[in-house]
Amino acid sequence: MIGFIKNLLKPKEDFEMLISDGATIVDVRTHSEYERDHVKDSVNIPLDTLPGPLVKMKKESAIILCCASGLRSSIACSTLVSMGYKHVYDGGSCENLKKYKQ
């Protein structure tokens, strides 16, 4: 319940600006989910393989995480922050981010 309230009170990220400034969208769903549908120009790194290819990115790079519902992207966000990534954002569902990448 506390997490829900925190999410209501925290400021919304400006995903449109982050994307236009070069943020990488990382889809943390499985490969088969990603193949069915995904955000244009996103990268697929399943949650269970993190950090995987992200280790090649600078920890100061902007990363927006997404998945089907927002649960896995939230877990991935926490994981990457604990690993020292500085600009990690939970984009929630892929459908939420599609409006910024058409």
Convert the pLDDT of each residue in 19-77 to its tens digit.
999 999 999 999 999 999 999 999 999 999 998 888 888 899 999 999 999 999 999 99
Q: In the prediction, which pLDDT does 51 show?
A: 85
Going from the C-alpha of 58 to that of each of 64, 90, 98, the distances in angstroms are 14, 18, 25
Question: Are the beta carbons of 88 and 61 closer than 8 angstroms?
Answer: no
Cα(88)–Cα(50) distance, rounded to whole angstroms?
13
Going from the C-alpha of 71 to that of each of 56, 57, 60, the distances in angstroms are 25, 23, 24
